[in-house]
A and B are shown apart, each in its own frame.
Chain A
Amino acid sequence: MQQMIKVGWLFNNMFNLHGDRGNLLAIRAEGERRGYRVEVEQINLDTETFNPIDFDFLFCPPGEIEHFEAVAAYLEPHRKELMDYIETRPMLVTGTSVGLFGETIKRDDQSTIRGLGIIEVKTRENHVVYGDDLYYSCRYNGKEMDIIGSQIQMLDLDIKEESPFGWLKYGYGNNGETRFEGVISGKGMFTNTLGPVLVCNPWLTEEIINLIEANKHWPVWEEPRDNTLELESLKTKIAHINKKETRLKKLGER
């Protein structure tokens, strides 16, 4: 029987802002390249039985803050399970949804939404949106790598004592004032990088699948993916970043 990777796609319809389904395509493609069957289950407010531990990978895309209270209420009973889950299993949370997994979200109208408190992060909604490229280095599953992407910052992050997921080479990151990008907690990645981050950075996708293989006690796939196209893309994007006009505070001054 074919080995199966089970992926949970959290609130895919409600949280659907930036072509985020690309991440599922990337995970599926890499899993299938290694000969696995990849099953994606969509989790929404009507899902009656959600148990994080049933999944090998969880993905929570960015969403409109308008819906956060409803989602927080749904996930609250699973808070402890999610905290246990990220100790060993990979989870990717992107964009505004990082706030949902944090402690509080302070809205522009000064109201406050209580998050799940899975990571010690406080977020605040920005009055003005900031969109830009995002380029940083990070370490995941023991591998150092560069990540390229874009960021549409609607919430600023104060990560307190948590560890940053990445160290900025260019971009706004958590709040434009530090070199920190996102948060890593256990195997959970909480990042401002939007859209198909796993398409643009297949080296991260490979590490997620490597981790899944290790968790399942399967042999880790030896044959690396051909990432030529994505490396060319990375190169030209870095060239774009290096020549572009920016009003960001210089990294050296942060």
Chain B
Amino acid sequence: MKFYLALWFAKLMGVAINMISKDRGTNLPGEKALTIDPDFVKHFKNIDYSKVIFITGTNGKSSTTNLVTHILKQNRKKIVSNLEGANLLGGIATILAKEASLSGKLKADYYIFETDERYLPLIYAQLPAQNMLITNLQKDQVQRNGDPDFIIRKLKEVVNPKMTLILNNEEPRSRFFEETACRSIYYGVSHHDESFTKGADYPTHACPKCHHDMSFDYYNVDSIGPFHCDFCGFASKKTPDYLITDLNFYDQSFKLKDVSFHMPYDLPFMFYNYAGSLAVCEAICGIAPEAAAKAFENFKNIGGRFEVLTYKNKTIKYMRIKQENPDTLQSALNIMASDQSEKMVALGLYVVNDFVPHYINTFYAFDCDFKPVVDSNVERYLCFSEHVSYDTANRLIYDGVAKEAITIMDSDNINEIFAEIDKAKTDNIYLITWLSTFEKMKKFIEGGQN
């Protein structure tokens, strides 16, 4: 009875929230339902766990979930998915409540859930998915996660011999889970025009099998690329099951299993999301690459990390990064560096304010290689954001930028940021900052300051 009360309450609450705002309410109904019935998610009926797919990992969860769902829907499959990125138990409870009948029955071909890696054991306890894609396991949100091993231990609580894993072939920590699963499917990306190497003073990490140093032949995305451990032989496969090849930035195309695909976003971190999605769609859901290819023609990612604004005669290219996450910062830097035309670089790394205590952390910037940006024809740098701007400037100085080429602004004042952008001779502006400042900048432009 508790379940029904919780379900009806969540449904009503979902409808009410939806009337106020369609963008809200992705977590709240489920959270409230879980307070009424703590095993709420476990009590839904008709879920075939072999049709449930978790998509977890540090980076790329949302995009992969969005793409898998899109491909399957385009192929007329009935999908239940948490597309809005509500990836905790409450978010999953919300979507299940919304999709279920009044008696708690669900009817779908597949259940595709983005799952927060930290809360995976809690989610799995109520929804024992038999399939899981691990995008990658990287340094991220250290204030709550500490180090990657902290997350690996969380995943170890869940991965079991009954599971099918879909694993990033070129990311050692994810690959290591192959030892536990009953079946592993591997996906990867071949060398492309924006693959890169880093100097010997950029650390890699330890082999998850033997603790010795890992080597990477090159990186397709920071910390991800063909790897090997000389000590124990642990290495990426030369030909994973699903390998993206022939990446062509000019034609916006790539191939997988000899099928040609349109590339909806030519951003290197998306390539692994493409490969992983295609692996899930064929290996778990039976949608062959030929059928999946059509869906790439009209794929629009929700909440992407790249946005372009027009301000006066200037183009502002905004790249959203995840705080405390060197891999997303490196990806953004690589995108900037690949543009050799004159540019202004505005960097607004910021105080980490996810929860109390807010704290200053820009140290992940030292894991990133700024030199390609420094060598990419930068007219001027702007380091802004209260309390961290000096550290950001210092990071640039340590990669060879002259102090005189940097404007340091210990502030997040939008007018001051635009005043500096106005001073730039170039019309090509690259911007990295947190979403809140970006949204204010967007409003500033929309408010007629254009």
Show the binding face of A for B, using Cβ within 8 Å: 12-14, 16-22, 24-26, 29, 40, 42, 44-46, 64-67, 70-71, 96, 129, 131-133, 150, 152, 154, 194-196, 199-200, 229-230, 232-233, 236-237, 239-240, 244-248
Indicate which residue in A25, A65, A131, A240 contacts B142 across the interface (CB closer than 8 Å).
A131
Q: Is the CB of A13 within 8 A of B366?
A: no
Q: Which residues of B contact A154 (CB under 8 A)?
A: 146-147, 150
The verdict on A152 contacting B142 (CB below 8 Å), with A44-B212, A133-B360 known, is yes
Q: Is the CB of B214 within 8 A of A13?
A: yes
* Docked CA distance A210–B139 (Å): 34
The verdict on A19 contacting B363 (CB below 8 Å), with A154-B146, A200-B391 known, is yes
A50 to chain B, nearest CB (A): 15
Q: Which residues of B contact A196 (CB under 8 A)?
A: 363, 366
B118 to chain A, nearest CB (A): 11
A105 to chain B, nearest CB (A): 14
The verdict on A40 contacting B201 (CB below 8 Å), with A67-B206, A129-B150, A194-B363 known, is yes
* Docked CA distance A154–B393 (Å): 29
Q: Is the CB of B143 within 8 A of A152?
A: yes
Indicate which residue in B203, B211, B367 contacts A70 across the interface (CB closer than 8 Å).
B211
Q: Is the CB of B361 within 8 A of A237?
A: no
Q: Is the CB of B357 within 8 A of A233?
A: no
A235 to chain B, nearest CB (A): 9
Q: Is the CB of A13 within 8 A of B205?
A: yes
Indicate which residue in A46, A236, A244 contacts B213 across the interface (CB closer than 8 Å).
A46
A176 to chain B, nearest CB (A): 12
* Docked CA distance A29–B201 (Å): 14
Q: Which residues of B contact A18 (CB under 8 A)?
A: 142, 363-364
Show the binding face of B for A, using Cβ within 8 Å: 139, 142-150, 200-206, 211-214, 230-231, 326, 351-352, 356-361, 363-367, 386-387, 389-391, 393-395, 397-398, 403, 408, 410
Q: Is the CB of A22 within 8 A of B363?
A: yes
Q: Is the CB of A199 within 8 A of B394?
A: yes
Indicate which residue in A25, A67, A96, A131 contacts B366 across the interface (CB closer than 8 Å).
A25
* Docked CA distance A124–B436 (Å): 38
* Docked CA distance A12–B145 (Å): 21
Residue of A nearest to B213 (CB): A13
Q: Is the CB of A19 within 8 A of B214?
A: no
Q: Which residues of A contact B206 (CB under 8 A)?
A: 13-14, 64, 67
Write 27 A-B pairs (CB below 8 A) sorted by A numbering: A12-B201, A14-B205, A16-B367, A19-B363, A19-B367, A44-B212, A45-B212, A45-B213, A46-B213, A64-B147, A66-B149, A67-B211, A96-B147, A129-B146, A131-B357, A131-B359, A150-B360, A150-B363, A196-B363, A200-B394, A229-B394, A229-B408, A233-B394, A237-B360, A244-B358, A246-B357, A247-B356
Q: Is the CB of B205 within 8 A of A16?
A: yes
The verdict on A236 contacting B410 (CB below 8 Å), with A13-B205, A133-B360 known, is yes
Instruction: Pick from A131, A152, A200 the residue with the most CB of B within 10 Å.
Output: A131
Indicate which residue in A12, A13, A20, A237 contacts B387 across the interface (CB closer than 8 Å).
A237
B93 to chain A, nearest CB (A): 24
* Docked CA distance A199–B397 (Å): 11
Q: Which residues of A contact B357 (CB under 8 A)?
A: 131-133, 244-248
A68 to chain B, nearest CB (A): 10
* Docked CA distance A229–B205 (Å): 32
Q: Ordered nearest first, which 3 A-B pairs have the shortest CB separation?
A: A195-B363, A19-B366, A131-B143
Residue of A nearest to B202 (CB): A21
The verdict on A65 contacting B149 (CB below 8 Å), with A19-B367, A45-B213, A232-B390 known, is yes
Q: Which residues of A contact B364 (CB under 8 A)?
A: 18-19
The verdict on A132 contacting B212 (CB below 8 Å), with A17-B142, A230-B390 known, is no
Q: Is the CB of B204 within 8 A of A236?
A: no
Q: Which residues of B contact A12 (CB under 8 A)?
A: 201, 203
Q: A46-B213, A195-B366 are in contact. List 9 more A-B contacts (CB 8 A).
A: A13-B203, A17-B142, A45-B213, A46-B212, A67-B206, A70-B211, A131-B352, A196-B366, A240-B387
Indicate which residue in A45, A129, A200 contacts B211 across the interface (CB closer than 8 Å).
A45
A119 to chain B, nearest CB (A): 22
B348 to chain A, nearest CB (A): 14
Indicate which residue in A21, A230, A237, A244 contacts B203 across the interface (CB closer than 8 Å).
A21
Q: Which residues of A contact B390 (CB under 8 A)?
A: 229-230, 232-233, 236
Q: Is the CB of A24 within 8 A of B201?
A: yes
Indicate which residue in B144, B214, B230, B393 contacts A131 across the interface (CB closer than 8 Å).
B144
* Docked CA distance A150–B144 (Å): 14
Q: Is the CB of B394 within 8 A of A14?
A: no
Residue of B nearest to A239 (CB): B387
* Docked CA distance A154–B201 (Å): 26
Residue of B nearest to A44 (CB): B213
Q: Which residues of B contact A71 (CB under 8 A)?
A: 211
* Docked CA distance A248–B358 (Å): 12
Q: Is the CB of B398 within 8 A of A236?
A: no
Q: Is the CB of B394 within 8 A of A230?
A: yes
Residue of A nearest to B387 (CB): A240
* Docked CA distance A40–B389 (Å): 29
The verdict on A150 contacting B149 (CB below 8 Å), with A12-B203, A240-B387 known, is no
Q: Which residues of A contact B394 (CB under 8 A)?
A: 199-200, 229-230, 233
Residue of A nearest to B397 (CB): A229
Indicate which residue in A14, A21, A129, A200 contacts B367 across the interface (CB closer than 8 Å).
A21
B28 to chain A, nearest CB (A): 25
Residue of B nearest to A108 (CB): B153
